[in-house]
A and B are shown apart, each in its own frame.
Chain A
Amino acid sequence: MSFAIAGSLDEALAALAVGARPIAGGTDLVVGARQGKAPLPASLVAIDRLDELAHIESRDRGIRIGAMVTHSQLMIDQMIVSGYTALADAAALVGSPSTRNIGTLGGNVMNASPAMDTGAPLMVLGAVAQLRSARGSRTVELSDLWTGPGQTSAETEELCVAIDLPPRPARSGSAYVRLEYRRAMEIAIVGAAASVTLADDGTILGGAVALSAVAPTIIEVDDAGALMTGHLPDAAAAAVATAASDVARPISDLRASDTYRRHTVGVMAARAVDAAARRAAGEEIGVPVNRAIGVGASR
């Protein structure tokens, strides 16, 4: 087994080109290996010292979040909390303080777990992934990136270096809520993110809803925007709940039955729409929504 510490992005990409796998926080890779899920790769390149990937930058068109940005950074960063609140909601719910301190957004995205918390918020916020390899860069839509549980369309030599988010329209809000059985060290049973933009009359101008842990990947509720547009948030939330339950393809496992997941993902979707609309209307709802207004075990 070999382990190399990359001193620069180019070194990291060169290592990937010859078969190494990247390791950042290791919260999925190392824990998974310990639990016997998958052995550690034979060759690892550590990217945790690549400071250039650890920043959140404001750009001409939106923001760029470096792949090494941790969940702890995301949950308190003012740009994220004020403009991309659903992502802060999700980051604040991940694992424990130590997981959040060391686990990175790039790692969460590329681990491609259908139960990942940051995925649904990124999707409704219109995020794209920036992939780099020794041969060049490309931009990938998240819906094209995630192909199955733990699977992405990225080549093995490609490294996710950043997530780009477009600017937020005026009178927009977002929220991520998840079903949880306890208040810490929890994993999503189901979860839902919503982004909502309001018209001046308080009806919904447009938006999006995405779901966690009810399909092989994070999925978007395709017709959510159409269902919400022109409606007041209450009616929109009810319509989205039904649509979310319909589009869900959950499995039965230890954490919940498919029937229960299908029902509760609708509940989460409605609550996400409600919180997102209230935030869009200017209401201050703290991060994470689960703690602020009460979802499941939280209030």
Chain B
Amino acid sequence: MPLLTESKVFIRPDGPDKVTGSGRYVADITLTGMLTAKFLYAGISHAEIIRLDVSAARRVPGVLAVLTHEDVPERRFGSIADRTLFAKDVVRFEGEVVAAVAAIDAEAAQKALDAVVVEYKPLQVVTDLEEAIADGAPLVHEGWADYEAANVERNGNVASFTSMTRGDVEKGMAQADHVVFGRYVADATHAAPIEPRGVLAQWEGDRVTIWSSTQVPFQARDGVCETLDLPTNRVRIIVPHMGGGFGGKCGFHYEAHVAALARVARRPVRLVFSRREEFIAPDRRREGMIIEITTGLKSDGTLTARRVRVLLDNGAYSADSSFFPHMAAMHTLGPYKIDNIHAEAFSIYTNHQPSGSVRAPTAPQTCWALESHTDELAAVVGMDPVAFRQQNCIDTGETGVAGQVYDEIGLQECIREAVSGIDYGQDLEDDEAIGVAVGWWPSFPGASGAFVKIDRDGKGVITTGAQECGTGSVMTLPILAAAELGMEPEDFELVYQDTSVAPYDEGATGSQTILNNGRATVEAARQIAVQLKNLAAKKLEASPDDIVLADGRAHVAGSPESAVSIVELAGVAAGGELLLGKGSGTPPEYPSAVGVACVGDQGLSGWAGPQFSCHAVKIRLDRETGVVRVLDVSAAHDSGVIINPIGASGQVEGGVMMGIGQALTEGTVYDEDGAQKNPAFLDYKLQTMADAPPIRVHFAEVHTPNMGPHGSKPIAEAPNVATAAAISNAITKLTGQPVPRLPMTAQRVWETMRGGGDG
């Protein structure tokens, strides 16, 4: 039974606030006596700090705090503990924070920054991935053997590493009729949320409240506690409305810097980033990559072996990037049936901005490479690329590259529906083509908690640790609670985004809100359902087991006329045992992957609840200029049972648009010194509403056991995987050969057509 009837349009509770402009974001909050924070950034990609003197800055009128590494506890943090709040001795990327000031206004703060004396001795800059792992390469972290990290092998500039082997890749290659090699290079990109981040901190005694535009308030809290030596119950993170994240606001960022400033200044302090800062400073950038794939196949299209090597640009520090090599390896191997594989993936320290989770980290680039390569394979054996995928992609009960046997999955339905949704065989103009690509993405089961209560008038409140990053996932929780209690979603209000009020949640990261917090909410609501059934059983003189909650009433099964309203039961409960539920929900276990050796692995043994997709894209190529325009998109997704169709479709549409940007116009350009050349929207070109093609969405609603509520799987990241790949395959049909570099800008497409280019 669907959770929402087709006639029911669910209006997300935060919608009116956001649409009318009445919603408040961090930058809208003003506290009495509040100061403005500004950071001094390194402005140089690799250098030794010879001198750092803030005494003149402290004397600037209106300046109440100036901090450097000397003013905070000496703590390293990160998934590999390789960084500190403030640079000490060495700076390793241009956006590294050297000093922070708080002043009565932005002008005074700027004067203080100008008065900081800092002298650098430039060190050799590491930017090229191949050079960085060559013998004798200068090290980004000279002393990193001393950093704390789990399961990491220390080896030059390699920050983290995965190798995967299954079967015998040499033997598999020997069995092949054709061996095809491809090399693909992807530029770095950015999450680019519309709201640059803001942080506001206020101390009351020895407790601090921090308003932050973070996707992960509990991680932010833990970062503050770790770096400033505070217990969790004295740090409260509140997130007002957040203007998008796309992964860029995952992790712990500047909450501790601002809290430290506020403590010294004895005033509330607010930091609001400029767009330039949002581009250069956070440890959240989609990493550049070099991807090499060799595949052996038989003339009938059977894949016999695949060898992949992926180099990822880790940047200067490791935020959450240490599991990326595993993800990159899995995505470069792909959702295919191949018995003999060998994959190696390295995340490599450079003097670029650190990489971190941006919507489906590692997947769009590796999928682009693999799926471009897959069309080449199909061409080599003279097969249609769709038929080639239908033959080689995994299906229910089959074994994937990592040896995992997949339960009920809908990849084949996705391929079928995506191509039928775009009318794959249609007659095309000679400057038009359709490209198709498949993608996959894992689910991330984890800890989460929720409280649900029903008050005397039968109205409910869900108090959740989950974070709403704009996807609408938190807004969907009332649907789940209402379904358990026979109530309407509108009967519930949400209290959310406050670490001191709600139980722990990992945050809006890894598409996990409905998966994890959804289960927690359902469990909490079920406890209340038990209470309501007991109350109703007494009232109706029936067994609690026979009570059904539906349509706002409790009735005896089979006798709908024997009923009592939930409002009445709530009134009874209000005078006695209150209607309170709490849930955490046992996370589903990760499946095992058989026969895979993982060395230095930071990833997942098997993929829990893998989501599958197929995107088909129709483009037009302006052959005289290389400009590609996307005319039509058909996207089919297996994200299990869909709970809120409007929200899920919105995620697919947004993911496709982000994918078009990555495919055609979005790419960070670095100069030879490691600095970004386009940290602004004029030259980092996002797609606009005017560029949006029609996007048809199909959901292969495979009921998935042991995963999200009601047989669901996550949806937020999966739509951002396959679009660039599908566009690449369409372009190749018109140019004759793939554009070997992402983004496939007009100039690069034109250069490919001329048979040249910079690769």
Q: In the complex, which residues of chain B have a beta carbon less than 8 angstroms from the beta carbon of A298? A: 629
Inter-chain CA distance A179–B669, complex, in Å, is 21
Inter-chain CA distance A186–B681, complex, in Å, is 10
Inter-chain CA distance A58–B687, complex, in Å, is 40
For the complex, is B722 an interface residue (Cβ under 8 Å from A)? no
Q: In the complex, which residues of chain A have a beta carbon less than 8 angstroms from the beta carbon of B622? A: 294-297, 299
Question: Are B688 and A183 neighbours in the complex by a CB distance under 8 Å?
Answer: yes
For the complex, is B388 an interface residue (Cβ under 8 Å from A)? no
- Chain A nearest CB: distance from B266 CB in Å? 31
- Tell me the residues in window 603-633 of chain B with beta carbons closer than 8 Å to chain A beta carbons: 620, 622, 624-625, 627-629
Q: In the complex, which residues of chain A have a beta carbon less than 8 angstroms from the beta carbon of B625? A: 179, 264, 267, 296
Question: Are B627 and A185 neighbours in the complex by a CB distance under 8 Å?
Answer: no
Inter-chain CA distance A264–B625, complex, in Å, is 6
- Tell me the residues in window 446-501 of chain B with beta carbons closer than 8 Å to chain A beta carbons: none
For the complex, is B678 an interface residue (Cβ under 8 Å from A)? yes
Question: Are B690 and A181 neighbours in the complex by a CB distance under 8 Å?
Answer: no
Inter-chain CA distance A182–B746, complex, in Å, is 11
Inter-chain CA distance A186–B629, complex, in Å, is 15
Q: In the complex, which residues of chain A have a beta carbon less than 8 angstroms from the beta carbon of B681? A: 185
Q: In the complex, which residues of chain B have a beta carbon less than 8 angstroms from the beta carbon of A294? A: 622
Question: Are A182 and B677 neighbours in the complex by a CB distance under 8 Å?
Answer: no
Name B664's contact: one of A180, A181, A254, A267 (CB within 8 Å). Answer: A181
Residue of A whose beta carbon sits closest to that of B661:
A182
Q: In the complex, which residues of chain B have a beta carbon less than 8 angstroms from the beta carbon of A297? A: 622, 627-629, 691, 746
- Chain B nearest CB: distance from A143 CB in Å? 28
Q: In the complex, which residues of chain B have a beta carbon less than 8 angstroms from the beta carbon of A257? A: 747
Encode A266-299 as 1/0 by CB contact (under 8 A) with B.
0100000000000000000000000000111111
A184-B629 contact, Cβ under 8 Å, with A254-B669, A254-B683, A255-B683? no
Inter-chain CA distance A263–B749, complex, in Å, is 14
For the complex, is A2 an interface residue (Cβ under 8 Å from B)? no
For the complex, is B665 an interface residue (Cβ under 8 Å from A)? yes
Residue of A whose beta carbon sits closest to that of B692:
A183
Inter-chain CA distance A296–B624, complex, in Å, is 9
Inter-chain CA distance A256–B690, complex, in Å, is 22
Q: In the complex, which residues of chain A have a beta carbon less than 8 angstroms from the beta carbon of B677? A: 254
Name B685's contact: one of A181, A264, A295 (CB within 8 Å). Answer: A181
Question: Are B747 and A260 neighbours in the complex by a CB distance under 8 Å?
Answer: yes
Q: In the complex, which residues of chain B have a beta carbon less than 8 angstroms from the beta carbon of A236? A: none
Q: In the complex, which residues of chain B have a beta carbon less than 8 angstroms from the beta carbon of A186? A: 685
Inter-chain CA distance A260–B677, complex, in Å, is 19
Question: Are B750 and A260 neighbours in the complex by a CB distance under 8 Å?
Answer: yes
- Chain A nearest CB: distance from B214 CB in Å? 26
Question: Are B746 and A184 neighbours in the complex by a CB distance under 8 Å?
Answer: no
Q: In the complex, which residues of chain A have a beta carbon less than 8 angstroms from the beta carbon of B683? A: 254-255
- Tell me the residues in window 658-714 of chain B with beta carbons closer than 8 Å to chain A beta carbons: 664-665, 669, 677-678, 680-683, 685, 687-691
Inter-chain CA distance A178–B74, complex, in Å, is 55
Q: In the complex, which residues of chain A have a beta carbon less than 8 angstroms from the beta carbon of B322? A: none
Question: Are A299 and B746 neighbours in the complex by a CB distance under 8 Å?
Answer: no
Inter-chain CA distance A233–B239, complex, in Å, is 62
Question: Are A184 and B627 neighbours in the complex by a CB distance under 8 Å?
Answer: no
Q: Indicate the size class of the contact surface on chain A.
A: 20 to 34
- Tell me the residues in window 423-445 of chain B with beta carbons closer than 8 Å to chain A beta carbons: none
Question: Are A256 and B747 neighbours in the complex by a CB distance under 8 Å?
Answer: yes
- Tell me the residues in window 73-128 of chain A with beta carbons closer than 8 Å to chain B beta carbons: none
A184-B691 contact, Cβ under 8 Å, with A254-B683, A296-B627? yes
For the complex, is B745 an interface residue (Cβ under 8 Å from A)? yes
Question: Are B629 and A299 neighbours in the complex by a CB distance under 8 Å?
Answer: yes
Question: Are A182 and B690 neighbours in the complex by a CB distance under 8 Å?
Answer: yes
- Chain A nearest CB: distance from B241 CB in Å? 23
Name B690's contact: one of A179, A184, A254, A295 (CB within 8 Å). Answer: A184
Inter-chain CA distance A180–B628, complex, in Å, is 11
Inter-chain CA distance A255–B525, complex, in Å, is 55
- Of the candidates A182, A185, A299, the one having the most CB atoms from chain B within 10 angstroms of its own CB is A182
Q: In the complex, which residues of chain A have a beta carbon less than 8 angstroms from the beta carbon of B680? A: 35
For the complex, is A187 an interface residue (Cβ under 8 Å from B)? yes
Inter-chain CA distance A263–B625, complex, in Å, is 8
Question: Are B689 and A184 neighbours in the complex by a CB distance under 8 Å?
Answer: yes
Inter-chain CA distance A130–B116, complex, in Å, is 48
- Tell me the residues in window 148-203 of chain A with beta carbons closer than 8 Å to chain B beta carbons: 179-187
Q: In the complex, which residues of chain A have a beta carbon less than 8 angstroms from the beta carbon of B665? A: 181-182
Q: In the complex, which residues of chain A have a beta carbon less than 8 angstroms from the beta carbon of B669? A: 254
Q: In the complex, which residues of chain A have a beta carbon less than 8 angstroms from the beta carbon of B624? A: 264, 267
Question: Are B620 and A184 neighbours in the complex by a CB distance under 8 Å?
Answer: no
Q: In the complex, which residues of chain B have a beta carbon less than 8 angstroms from the beta carbon of A295? A: 622
Q: In the complex, which residues of chain B have a beta carbon less than 8 angstroms from the beta carbon of A263? A: 750
Inter-chain CA distance A16–B407, complex, in Å, is 77
Inter-chain CA distance A257–B682, complex, in Å, is 17
- Chain A nearest CB: distance from B640 CB in Å? 34
Question: Are B691 and A182 neighbours in the complex by a CB distance under 8 Å?
Answer: yes
Inter-chain CA distance A201–B628, complex, in Å, is 37
- Chain B nearest CB: distance from A250 CB in Å? 12
Q: In the complex, which residues of chain B have a beta carbon less than 8 angstroms from the beta carbon of A182? A: 665, 685, 687-688, 690-691
Residue of B whose beta carbon sits closest to that of A268:
B625
Q: In the complex, which residues of chain B have a beta carbon less than 8 angstroms from the beta carbon of A181? A: 627, 664-665, 685, 745-746
Inter-chain CA distance A299–B627, complex, in Å, is 11
Inter-chain CA distance A179–B625, complex, in Å, is 8
Question: Are A183 and B691 neighbours in the complex by a CB distance under 8 Å?
Answer: yes
Inter-chain CA distance A298–B669, complex, in Å, is 25
Q: In the complex, which residues of chain A have a beta carbon less than 8 angstroms from the beta carbon of B628? A: 297
Residue of A whose beta carbon sits closest to that of B743:
A181
- Chain A nearest CB: distance from B507 CB in Å? 31
Inter-chain CA distance A186–B682, complex, in Å, is 8
Residue of B whose beta carbon sits closest to that of A260:
B747
- Chain B nearest CB: distance from A244 CB in Å? 13
Encode A235-265 as 1/0 by CB contact (under 8 A) with B.
0000000000000000000111100100110
Encode B310-329 as 1/0 by CB contact (under 8 A) with A.
00000000000000000000
Residue of A whose beta carbon sits closest to that of B750:
A260
Inter-chain CA distance A296–B627, complex, in Å, is 5
Residue of A whose beta carbon sits closest to that of B681:
A185
Inter-chain CA distance A267–B746, complex, in Å, is 14
- Tell me the residues in window 703-759 of chain B with beta carbons closer than 8 Å to chain A beta carbons: 745-747, 750-751
Question: Are A299 and B682 neighbours in the complex by a CB distance under 8 Å?
Answer: no
Residue of B whose beta carbon sits closest to that of A294:
B622
Residue of A whose beta carbon sits closest to that of B747:
A260
Inter-chain CA distance A180–B685, complex, in Å, is 11
Q: In the complex, which residues of chain B have a beta carbon less than 8 angstroms from the beta carbon of A255? A: 683
A183-B747 contact, Cβ under 8 Å, with A297-B627, A297-B629, A299-B629? no
Residue of B whose beta carbon sits closest to that of A179:
B625
Residue of A whose beta carbon sits closest to that of B680:
A35
Inter-chain CA distance A298–B682, complex, in Å, is 18
Residue of A whose beta carbon sits closest to that of B687:
A182
- Chain A nearest CB: distance from B658 CB in Å? 14
- Tell me the residues in window 31-56 of chain B with beta carbons closer than 8 Å to chain A beta carbons: none
Inter-chain CA distance A260–B745, complex, in Å, is 12
Question: Are A299 and B620 neighbours in the complex by a CB distance under 8 Å?
Answer: yes
- Chain B nearest CB: distance from A115 CB in Å? 11
- Chain B nearest CB: distance from A96 CB in Å? 9
Question: Are B750 and A183 neighbours in the complex by a CB distance under 8 Å?
Answer: no
Residue of A whose beta carbon sits closest to that of B274:
A34
Q: In the complex, which residues of chain B have a beta carbon less than 8 angstroms from the beta carbon of A256? A: 747
- Of the candidates B669, B687, B747, the one having the most CB atoms from chain A within 10 angstroms of its own CB is B747
Would you mind naming 23 contact pairs between A and B with Cβ atoms under 8 Å apart?
A: A179-B625, A179-B627, A181-B665, A182-B688, A182-B690, A183-B691, A184-B688, A186-B685, A187-B682, A254-B669, A257-B747, A260-B747, A260-B750, A260-B751, A267-B624, A295-B622, A296-B622, A296-B627, A297-B627, A297-B629, A297-B746, A298-B629, A299-B620
Closest 9 CB pairs of A and B: A183-B690, A296-B627, A184-B690, A184-B688, A267-B624, A260-B747, A254-B683, A297-B627, A297-B629
A181-B627, A297-B691 known; 17 new pairs, CB 8 Å cut-off, are: A35-B276, A35-B680, A179-B746, A182-B685, A182-B687, A182-B691, A184-B690, A187-B682, A255-B683, A257-B747, A260-B747, A263-B750, A264-B625, A267-B625, A296-B622, A296-B627, A297-B629
